[in-house]
């Protein structure tokens, strides 16, 4: 945990926001959210929520410390930010058999930290209250600082994005002591129970799939997205390129009756249509090629499979491991300078820095870079179809690893009860990683089921916004197509703060109709972002923009 208290902190109007790390990052992973708090004069309470960017390097047996430096596992002791534990093999025996591997906190802690993301966020708030009083509390006659500002005096907004946003929602649900006053989150990861009974409609049609858990839809993407990225309809999408390995995945999918068609074009069109049927909106289509290039679905599937199943790094679940690779695509020792910097620059879910996904079951090469590897079942370089299928099958399998994973997923489900706290969720309609049909849309209905008329949750769906604002200006084709969702999180924080401090009503649920900047699609630049491109969240949205919840149905306008 980490707390920042700005010099502008106002003890007469004390406030704090949470900034639980996004993705699988370390404690600094939501510092872009913390910025809002610092500028407001609010303290910011961070937590890594049991994830982290720096690995345990098994070759050198060194681990990260909480301050970002590294030490040997034996010297670190309880000061280690993360140290892997063995499975059936000792770490030494495993490293002798499979050298150059890394263990990561989210994947390999064997604790399924996601089940405690809400708890960890609440603990960060408690730490923040302590830190505020440690600095500003009245000093008693014995020289000891007193706790003179408690939860009743400090305004607290739970916030963050993606996994951190999901953690903030979980914290609000679990807040039985009134630590949290309001919630403002962006693109949250929210797992709903299978029997939630919420129907999502867009326009006049019920969406084909909604409310599925992350592991369900991310392993679906891991099977289909590489093939779908080759669809002719996506030829102008960011990072589109014909890729023989992805075409090979299409053929293997066809051989296994997962997609239809005899040509790559037909197979890719079939895969894209299956993603639509699985809950992805057409607005996400243009994102599939770039998400494929970054190996997004595979990296998340592998990390969460290990986490949910509480697998050890020595288990190599579904034949995957993590290691640096060189020009020969085989595991190699990681450079000390890279290892030293990962605490601050890594994302905690390989591929990250130079660490890659390894297919330890490549039948031709032995352990090999996942994207270049050969599947045993197909004898093709199809980006490890066997591994992707194995990960997918864990969701419904009956062996010990599958049952452990299913139990882990069940521990992460949300309750839907925000305890009457004023709350705003913002999410991009084009999100290709956490589709709105499986996250924010059904959660809105689920919350209304649980809280009824006492619910103070509003959902803001932003057109032309997607999950990775960092790609805008970095990946060709993003700047002209997508607006930054983070701007709307800032506006949501403003709205919740104003509601809590002055009673200004929260805006109702709505779709915000943004306007892409346009310009050339093959560059990282675009015309200047103007207010007209990113209109405000309306206090009274037009009827055609209103999102309405009624009798378990969430009605979203086209």
DSSP string, 40-57: TT-EEEEE-TT--S--EE
> Could you give the CA distance from residue 445 to residue 296 in angstroms, rounded to a whole number?
29
Query: Taking the CB of residue 415, how many other CB atoms lie within 10 A of it?
Result: 16
Q: Is the CB of residue 95 less than 8 Å from the CB of residue 58?
A: yes
Quote the radius of gyration of the chain (alpha carbons, Å): 23
Give the 3-state secondary structure of 59-86.
CCCEEEECCCCEEEHHHHHHHECCCCCC
Q: Which residues of 38-65 are buried (b: 16+ CB within 10 A; e: fewer)?
A: bebebbbbbbbbbbbbbbbbbbebbbbb
Host H or E run for residue 103: strand 102-103
> Could you give the CA distance from residue 158 to residue 48 in angstroms, rounded to a whole number?
15
How far the first Cα of the chain sits from its last, in Å, is: 42
Q: Is 162 a catalytic residue?
A: yes
Tokens of 522: 């093959």
DSSP string, 242-265: --HHHHHHHHHHHHTTSS--SSHH
Q: Which of 22, 162, 210, 479 is catalytic?
A: 162
Q: Dihedral sign, CA of 297, 298, 302, 303? A: negative
Host H or E run for residue 2: strand 2-4
Q: What are the residues facing 423 on neighbouring strands? A: 183, 457
**470-474 — which CB contacts under 8 Å span 24+ positions?**
471/238, 471/290, 473/524, 473/525, 474/524
> Could you give the CA distance from residue 392 to residue 555 in angstroms, rounded to a whole number?
31
User: Which residues are designated catalytic?
Assistant: 162
């Amino acid at each position: 945990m980490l707390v920042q208290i700005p010099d502008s902190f106002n003890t007469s109007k004390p406030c704090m926001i949470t900034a639980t790390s996004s993705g699988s990052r370390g404690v600094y992973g939501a510092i872009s959210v913390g910025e809002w708090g610092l500028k407001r004069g609010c303290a910011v309470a961070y937590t890594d929520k049991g994830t982290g960017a720096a690995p345990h390097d098994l070759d050198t047996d060194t681990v990260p410390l909480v301050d970002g430096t590294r030490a040997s596992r034996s010297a670190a002791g309880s000061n280690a930010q993360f140290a892997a534990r063995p499975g059936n093999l000792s770490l030494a025996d495993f490293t002798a058999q499979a050298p150059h591997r890394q263990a990561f906190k989210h994947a390999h802690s064997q604790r399924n930290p996601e089940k405690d993301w809400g708890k960890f966020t609440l603990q960060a708030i408690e730490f923040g209250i302590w830190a505020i009083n440690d600095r500003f509390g009245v000093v008693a006659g014995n020289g000891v600082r007193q706790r003179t500002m408690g939860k009743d005096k400090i305004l607290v907004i739970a916030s963050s994005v993606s996994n951190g946003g999901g953690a903030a929602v979980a914290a609000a649900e679990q807040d039985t002591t009134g630590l949290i006053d309001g919630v403002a989150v962006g693109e949250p990861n929210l797992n709903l129970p299978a029997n939630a009974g919420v129907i999502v409609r867009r326009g006049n049609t019920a969406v084909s799939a909604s409310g599925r858990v992350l592991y369900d839809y991310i392993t679906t993407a891991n099977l289909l997205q590489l093939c779908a990225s080759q669809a002719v309809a996506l030829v102008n999408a960011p990072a589109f390129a014909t890729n023989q390995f992805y075409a090979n995945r299409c053929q293997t999918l066809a051989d296994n009756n997962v997609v239809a068609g005899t040509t790559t074009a037909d197979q890719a069109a079939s895969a894209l249509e299956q993603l639509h049927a699985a809950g992805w909106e057409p607005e996400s289509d243009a994102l599939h090629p770039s998400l494929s290039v970054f190996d997004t679905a595979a990296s998340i599937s592998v990390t969460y499979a290990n986490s949910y199943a509480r697998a050890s790094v020595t288990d190599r679940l579904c034949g995957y491991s993590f290691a640096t690779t060189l020009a020969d695509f085989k595991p190699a020792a990681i450079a000390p300078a890279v290892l030293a910097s990962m605490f601050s620059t890594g994302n905690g879910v390989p591929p990250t820095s130079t660490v890659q996904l390894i297919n330890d079951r490549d039948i031709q090469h032995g352990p090999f870079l996942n994207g270049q590897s050969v599947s045993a079942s197909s004898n093709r370089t199809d980006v490890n179809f066997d591994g992707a299928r194995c990960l997918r099958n864990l969701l419904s399998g009956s062996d010990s690893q599958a049952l452990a994973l299913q139990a882990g997923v069940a521990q992460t489900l949300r309750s839907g009860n925000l305890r009457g706290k004023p709350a705003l969720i913002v999410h991009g309609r084009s999100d290709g990683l956490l589709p709105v049909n499986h996250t924010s849309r059904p959660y809105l209905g689920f919350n209304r089921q649980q809280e009824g008329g006492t619910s103070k949750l509003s959902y803001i769906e932003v057109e032309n916004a997607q999950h990775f604002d960092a790609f805008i200006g970095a990946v060709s084709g993003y700047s002209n197509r997508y607006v930054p969702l983070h701007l709307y999180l800032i506006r949501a924080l403003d709205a919740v703060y104003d509601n809590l401090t002055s009673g200004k009503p929260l805006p109702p649920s709505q779709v915000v109709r943004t306007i892409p900047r346009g310009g050339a699609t093959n560059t990282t630049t675009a015309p200047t972002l103007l207010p007209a491109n990113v209109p405000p969240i309306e206090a009274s949205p037009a009827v055609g923009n209103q999102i309405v919840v009624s009798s378990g149905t969430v009605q979203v306008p086209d």
